[in-house]
Amino acid sequence: MPAVQLADGELFYSLEGPADAPVLVLSNSLGTDLQMWDAQVADFAEHFRVLRYDTRGHGQSLVTDGLYSIEQNGRDVLALLDALDIAKVHFCGLSMGGLIGQWLAINAPERIQRLVLCNTAAKIGSPEVWNPRIETVLRDGQPAMLALRDASIARWFTPEFAAAEPAKVEPVVGMLAATSPQGYAANCAAVRDANFRDEVASIKAATLIVCGTADVVTTPEHGRFMQERIRGAELVEFHAAHLSNVEAGEQFTRRVLDFLTA
């Protein structure tokens, strides 16, 4: 897999689709990697040059010391685009990836054409949620990641989907178990500290907000908060928990494509 050299390490990416097509960036959730989008890539690549990447601290990308920020992750995306000589993109991010998308649309609006914010919020969780998780992961390392893997099934998928589709669930939760504890904890802090509630109204890009009706992490209410503040934003709800692109599958893919090709 190719990589670009950042100031402090390598950011790995995948680029698929016609060389002359508009570029669509896909940004992964906390605890996954670029393979979380596998179900979408073939369909998306019929219309777009699809650029996926492993967010700092995830997959094959760099794991640096200290805590991260969503701004840092957003600047990694800009560095990736600059290295590949890409001026402007459509951007689709889920959960943490959606926070990165919000940061980019607020702080680098000239780089974003259309924006898809999936299973995310202007602010996700509270320090009371994130701090114990950060502490546990930094203290216990990989055993803590394995415990999180088991707990994530209930957060990421509805019980009926988890029971019926283990072949779709297992590879995704396996990404969490394989994530660097340092990288995961550092990005937990990035999500903990991100708060775009006062800035989200400045987003000018055409925006689609995707929610899961059974998502207890970033609820449809979080989606409506953003829709009410982003001028002209569309909102769609699927019967899904937190990873709607996996659970809603073809419905998700079709609705996002309809928006991006409108």
pLDDT in tens, 66-112: 999 999 999 999 999 999 999 999 999 999 999 999 999 999 999 99
Task: List the Cα angle 4/50/29 in 5-degree steps.
Answer: 75
C-alpha–C-alpha distance, residues 158 and 176, integer Å: 18
Average pLDDT across the chain, whole number = 98
For residue range 238-255, what is the model confidence (pLDDT) as tens digits? Answer: 999 999 999 999 999 999
- pTM of the shown model: 0.98
CATH number at 102 reads: 3.40.50.1820
Which helix or strand (DSSP H or E) is residue 76 part of?
helix 70-83
Which residues are within 8 A (CB) of 55 and not within 5 positions of it... i.e. 6 or more apart? Answer: 27, 28, 33, 61, 73, 76, 96, 97, 100, 187
Which residues are within 8 A (CB) of 17 and not within 5 positions of it... i.e. 6 or more apart? Answer: 44, 45, 46, 47, 48, 49, 50
Instruction: Give the alpha-carbon dihedral of 214, 31, 252, 2, to 10 degrees.
Output: 180
Which two three-digit tokens encode residue 189? 């802090």
For residue range 110-131, what is the model confidence (pLDDT) as tens digits? Answer: 999 999 999 999 999 999 999 9
Q: What is the pLDDT of residue 102?
A: 99
Q: What is the mean pLDDT of residues 14-38?
A: 98
C-alpha–C-alpha distance, residues 134 and 188, integer Å: 7
Domain that holds residue 135: 3-260
C-alpha–C-alpha distance, residues 47 and 83, integer Å: 23
DSSP 5-42: EETTEEEEEEEES-TTSPEEEEEPPTT--GGGGHHHHH
Q: Looking at the 3D structure of the chain, how many domains does it have?
A: 1
C-alpha–C-alpha distance, residues 164 and 146, integer Å: 22
